[in-house]
Chain A
Amino acid sequence: MPRAIVLDGKDNVATLIDPGRTGERCALQGEAGGETVLLQDVPFGHKVCIRATAVGADVLKYGQVIGRASAALRVGEHVHVHNVESARGRGDRPKGGER
């Protein structure tokens, strides 16, 4: 079973430290336990959503904001540049991306 590390109890993502396939269960380790069923293939080192997150909400890893959800995130979904975006240094956005 692929392993996924949760770094802080507040996090809504976990980091896979083995490659995961669609439909596979991954074992949560670290600051949360249990299992999450992967809705998509998630490569080694990529993130999976472990807590449903609304569009525009903060994405948390290390208990810190790593960006905001650019689409609603379902539990088990691959979380990456297609559905989370940076809020820093964004010259292409008003106010540099900050809210």
Chain B
Amino acid sequence: MAQKILLKNINVPGINTFEVYRQYGGYAAVEKALKTMSADDVVEEVKKSGLRGRGGAGFPTGMKWSFLAKPEGVPRYLVCNADESEPGTFKDRYLMTHTPHTLIEGMIVSSFALGANTSYIYVRGEMMPQIRILEKAIAEAKNAGFLGKNILGTGYDLEIYVQPGGGAYICGEETALLESLEGKRGNPRIKPPFPAIAGLYGCPTVVNNVESIAAVSWIVNNGGDEYAKIGIGRSTGTKLISASGNINKPGVYEIELGLSVEEFIYSDEYCGGIANGKRLKAVVAGGSSVPILPANLILKLSNGQPRLMSYESLAEGGFATGTMLGSGGFIVMDEDACIVRNTWNFSRFYHHESCGQCSPCREGTGWMEKVLHRIEYGHGKMSDIDLLVDVSKKIEGNTICPLGDAAAWPVASAIRHFRDEFEWHVNNPQAAMDGNYGLANYADPIPVVEEAN
């Protein structure tokens, strides 16, 4: 059995309450950190652990923390990003619903490490039930002396507040989130300055994903070196994967990084194979923003080796044959899924969610949506396919925040790997309305490229 860190006790009845969570060893990390370690010691352990941000970008958490400015007399903030809106991603909701104290404990230890005395958890507004769950968990922890003034008699003060969003994907982007937390529209800020220098209310701020913060308690308890032993290479530790689409067992799974993609999809411990006896056509491995891969490329690298669930292995081959781990939103499509329709759907999403500040993103996403709609609905021209590639290139890299790239990549990658299916739509407008190109050759073995060394 693979090691579990975040979801180890998920099936224990009552683990959502302080009492049971504590019985199972909860809040030991708070005692250890506050009573026996300095803030810098905690940062050091997190650095050693190799933990990388679980919100999507994979930036090393310890390094991010060490960039935090510490001017005299200025408050510092930790803001937890619980905006979770990337299509395909639902792990943070799962963790907060079933084991909220795992997040609260991580928040306390992380706030201590950063020297924050007020911290916020920004939860997407639609998660009202989770907001209530977190508020209850905070009240319980406070009651037991783990929050508030002079925690455990150590002299450290901390308040944690839960902030609801208003419904906007863009508020998951960290500077849009900070704007929103200040009571404004969620328009991303131009960087620099980075939040580590000027974040919430202009003060030094760290923004971290729910899962990153939740992992810190285990690292404090067991040491960064122990954490780094789990996983593979620079992909240390465990990762929550949200598995959805045409599989037998959709849900949230905690994996040790380095598991093979094939095992993740087909073994009964995880997805349990493709539903209804169908065959695998494509996977979007890290949330809607990352490039889609056909079955043959997601299962194997170009040298014929199995592809693994790790930052490096998923990215192997660059955008030509690879993708990204992203937020771990693993969307599986079977032979009946229509790639054109799905691509249109995603581009509609990005158009809807663009904040409108930059013209390449605002106009380009609308344009891509329109062209994809016409291909899907039988009015496409062959030249539309190259037009889409062209628009996606004009957005990529030309915007204030990465939403532009996130909108461009799914379209560019779908055309790169499934051009046949787009052409089939143009050539067979009638059939394309309610059918699709099927599995075609997308699961066929690919020629193995010999490595140079």
Is B a genuine binding partner of A? no
Spell out A's residues near B (CB within 8 Å).
Answer: none
